[in-house]
Structure 1
Amino acid sequence: MRGLVLGGTSSGVGKTVATLAAIRAFEDAGHAVQPAKAGPDFIDPSHHAVVADRPSRTLDTWLEGTDGLRRNYRRGEGDLCLVEGVMGLYDGDGSSTAMVAEALDLPVVLVVDAKAGMESVAATALGFREYAARIDRDIDVAGVIAQRAHGGRHADGIRDALPDELDYFGRIPPTPELEIPDRHLGLEMGDESQVDDNALATAADHLRVDALLETARAPPEPAGGVDTHEGTTDARIAVAEDAAFCFTYPATLERLRDRAEVVTFAPTAGDDLPDCDGVYLPGGYPELHVSELAASPALDTIGERASEGLPILGECGGLMTLSESLTTADGETGEMAGVLPAEIEMRDRYQALDHVELRATEETLTADSGGFLRGHEFHYSEASVGRDARFAFEMERGDGIDGERDGLTEYRTLGTYAHVHAESGAFDRFLDAVEL
């Protein structure tokens, strides 16, 4: 499957809208698109999935490594993969858009804000192309999509100013209907705030699909093939899936389903915990659903089953739900499952945002003692932990729960602020632990 990376000159330049318009343009031309996102984000991919009608894949060199990245890419489906970048093209020491493009050997189409420039757009793009050689990176900036560009003289001026080595792939006209509302953690999710379909179709008409398709190319094969996980198990894993638990990488669910039976449940809708051998509580927005969670029979059952030794893994929002209580920024407090000795409070600004590395200080659900895991953390909540709290990980990089440690553990329950990817091996280790 050939692919392209849509990188930006900076955050906020309009990469997501450009990506959605490109997906729509290819779909309208009869090409099935596999969307993807560089970096660890869950929110932009939710918008991709609405337009492409298939899950968006996460591509992050820190979380997955080069071969893991290539394996994850190869598991996608479609005629073409469109990868939305993260921040500016070269920004990020753990996994930048440039690192992802280089690992996959995919050309970069640069999204440039053209609302107040013409020749300067060309100068900016040329600078981004030549900067790769300056830092000795093999990054192929193939051309530009002019974001917020008018037609006529404006578009012609941008196209004419570009040097021969940079193609003009079209423009996204200034369209208020394409703006996506945001909140803490980023944009609103795709199923909450879908972009206007007519406006997206209009924007798609201004992209040069044939030129983009001709520029795309296929990445190298991953070492060791695509499938590297262990054999199947007899385990039945319950996965929370609703508005409070909506941050799940497609590759994680694929890995769980490859090796076990997966059944989903919706705590905010009043679902009880189904019969299962293990529980995965992914991240999301539990702080927006405190009253529903406090009243959910699933949390009472999770508390009971945890004390009986049921393996339970919670990431970020899952950690918050496994705690004793959760207090919103407005002061609303609800009792949570009460498995882990922590009280969670939301703050007005983020408390951690980084790629992280954790070292296991004891054998735990996702790692052997002394093992390392790489992940990502981004949260506005703060945890006040009890004096008797036990931690499974020390932080080699990142903040974790208390600045030095992550992974609150009790019984056979583990709650972390870190999100990890299936390529880390953490979910294979979880399934192995469930089978014990």
Structure 2
Amino acid sequence: MPASLVISAPASGVGKTTLTLALARAWRHRGFNVQCFKSGPDYIDPAFHAAATGRASVNVDSWAMDRGTIAHLVGRGADADVVLAEGSMGLFDGVAARGVSGTGATADIAEMLGWPVVLVIDPSGQAQTAAAIAAGLRDYRAGVRLAGVVLNRVASPRHEDLVRRALNEAGIKVFGALPRHAEISLPKRHLGLVQAEEQAEIGKLIDEAARFVAEHVDLDAVLHSAGKWSPQAAVNGLNVTPPGQRIALARDAAFSFVYPHMLEAWRAAGAEIVPFSPLTDEAPDASADVCWLPGGYPELHAGKIAANARFRSSLRAFAETRPVHGECGGYMVLGAGLTDADGVRHEMTGLLGLETSFAKRRMHLGYRLAELAAPMPGHQPGARLRGHEFHYSTILAQPDTALAVVHDATGAVIAETGSRRGHATGTFFHLIAEDR
């Protein structure tokens, strides 16, 4: 039975990803098979997990997925020695209204699967108060079990001693304390996200994190605290219909935000995925029956996309007879124009009338529930699609027929309805699952 743990924290930015990668690589160095998962809607961390473990990682999400789907996805860890689920935000942070099986909080996954939680605590600017925070998290929800804590960014031995004493008095195990060590921090960039494929030195970075954590954390104690998880057979698999039999998938630095479980589900249903690169002016495969443009960073490459005449003309020709769908950044590229952060407008493919601008950044973030008013590849009118939206673009014009009525997690109708024109469709949200 795999040893299972959830890596969480009181808040974002505390070091969950770095600790998860370090533990995964350190145990892999010991000869263990390690399987990682990501709780919540994140396109980036699963790729880092795969780099650390050599095994594909997928998202599990209690707001968008039912228990059967989650059980199906985590079942891939049945043959592993160690299973790690990296949380998002703080341990209990989710949305106000329940979704399919929870609020999207990491605690939902920990309770649902019975996996103990290792908390990453950053005691910067405090000492004994860190113990009060950890104790509060331990006691907040009866079904969530705290295994212990790892302290991160400890200022000095005296600081560590004060925090350790307080945690010991609270009955909370301390697995280790990491002094400040900026070299192992993952760099941040546009949108606060860095993709694994953008880091040429990612292997060395993870190795250094593993070495550093192994020096300061009792890996045996962490492993001993893990739950012994006995995977249960999933009643249901993924409720995903591929958008076509042969899918031309845009895949490069501008188009890379797609959930791994979606691609796996398409393949499992018998679909063939044929990648192509708009940034190198490639055309979608002529024998494909659908073209899919994921999100990513088109705003950073808008000039190049606008200049790549072969890509743009071939996509227009493709859309004359077959469906083309874009998510978020892909949706923007299907539009008429994209204005970059410097205020320069770049002509996009023009399959839709959408005009977007990054000249005035405004964050759009959150879960989305879309009720389709028109068909899109793989889904019929009336389908209820669950996804997540995260971008800083502003809509200047969205003149085409609305693709869906879209609600946020509170049930409020939002303006990002998506669009449809001819064979082209697009949405600002990234699809996670369809309601059964």
Query: Shorter-chain-normalised TM-score: which range?
Result: 0.7 to 0.9
Cα gap change, 1:324/1:192 in structure 2, threshold over 3 Å: closer, same or farther?
Answer: same
Q: Note the 1:31-430 alignment, pairs <5 A.
A: 31-76=32-77, 78-93=80-95, 94-133=103-142, 138-149=143-154, 152-161=157-166, 162-163=168-169, 165-193=171-199, 194=202, 195=205, 197-217=207-227, 218=229, 221=232, 223-226=234-237, 235-258=245-268, 259-275=270-286, 276-296=288-308, 297-308=310-321, 310-385=322-397, 387=399, 389-397=400-408, 403-421=414-432, 423-424=433-434
Cα gap change, 1:32/1:200 in structure 2, threshold over 3 Å: closer, same or farther?
Answer: same
Q: CA deviation at 1:348?
A: 4.4
Give the TM-score normalised by the residue count of structure 1. Answer: 0.87
Contact 1:25/1:207, CA 8 A, preserved across alignment: no
Aligned residues: 417
Contact 2:244/2:290, CA 8 A, preserved across alignment: no
| Runs of 5+ consecutive residues of structure 1 not aligned to the other structure | 427-436
Contact 1:180/1:187, CA 8 A, preserved across alignment: no
How far apart in 1 are the matches of 2:84 and 2:191?
23
Contact 2:357/2:393, CA 8 A, preserved across alignment: yes
Cα gap change, 1:348/1:211 in structure 2, threshold over 3 Å: closer, same or farther?
Answer: farther
How far apart in 2 are the matches of 1:425 and 1:264?
28
What letter corresponds to residue 407 of structure 2 in structure 1?
A: E
Give the percent of matched residue pairs that are identical in Structure 1 and Structure 2.
Answer: 37
- 3-state SS of 1:78 partner: coil
How far apart in 2 are the matches of 1:45 and 1:145?
22
- 3-state SS of 2:8 partner: strand
Contact 2:7/2:85, CA 8 A, preserved across alignment: yes
Contact 2:7/2:86, CA 8 A, preserved across alignment: yes
- Listed one character per residue, the Cα deviations across residues 105-144 of structure 1 (whole Å, up to 9, x for unaligned) are 21111110033444333222111111114xxxx1112210
Give the TM-score normalised by the residue count of structure 2. Answer: 0.87
Cα gap change, 1:19/1:345 in structure 2, threshold over 3 Å: closer, same or farther?
Answer: same
| Runs of 5+ consecutive residues of structure 2 not aligned to the other structure | 96-102
What letter corresponds to residue 420 of structure 2 in structure 1?
A: T
Cα gap change, 1:163/1:30 in structure 2, threshold over 3 Å: closer, same or farther?
Answer: farther
Cα gap change, 1:113/1:330 in structure 2, threshold over 3 Å: closer, same or farther?
Answer: same
RMSD of aligned alpha carbons = 2.7
What letter corresponds to residue 44 of structure 2 in structure 1?
A: I
Contact 1:3/1:106, CA 8 A, preserved across alignment: yes
How far apart in 2 are the matches of 1:45 and 1:233?
23
How far apart in 2 are the matches of 1:234 and 1:18?
39
How far apart in 2 are the matches of 1:122 and 1:24?
28
Q: CA deviation at 1:321?
A: 1.1
Cα gap change, 1:204/1:313 in structure 2, threshold over 3 Å: closer, same or farther?
Answer: farther
Cα gap change, 1:293/1:109 in structure 2, threshold over 3 Å: closer, same or farther?
Answer: same
- Listed one character per residue, the Cα deviations across residues 200-238 of structure 1 (whole Å, up to 9, x for unaligned) are 4223332222222222232652541556667x9982111
How far apart in 2 are the matches of 1:362 and 1:18?
44
- Listed one character per residue, the Cα deviations across residues 156-205 of structure 1 (whole Å, up to 9, x for unaligned) are 54444325753222232210112233234223222324337435422333
How far apart in 2 are the matches of 1:227 and 1:184?
32
Q: CA deviation at 1:350?
A: 3.3
Q: CA deviation at 1:375?
A: 0.8
Q: CA deviation at 1:383?
A: 2.5
- 3-state SS of 1:280 partner: strand
Contact 1:68/1:222, CA 8 A, preserved across alignment: no
- Listed one character per residue, the Cα deviations across residues 219-259 of structure 1 (whole Å, up to 9, x for unaligned) are 652541556667x9982111111100111111111112222
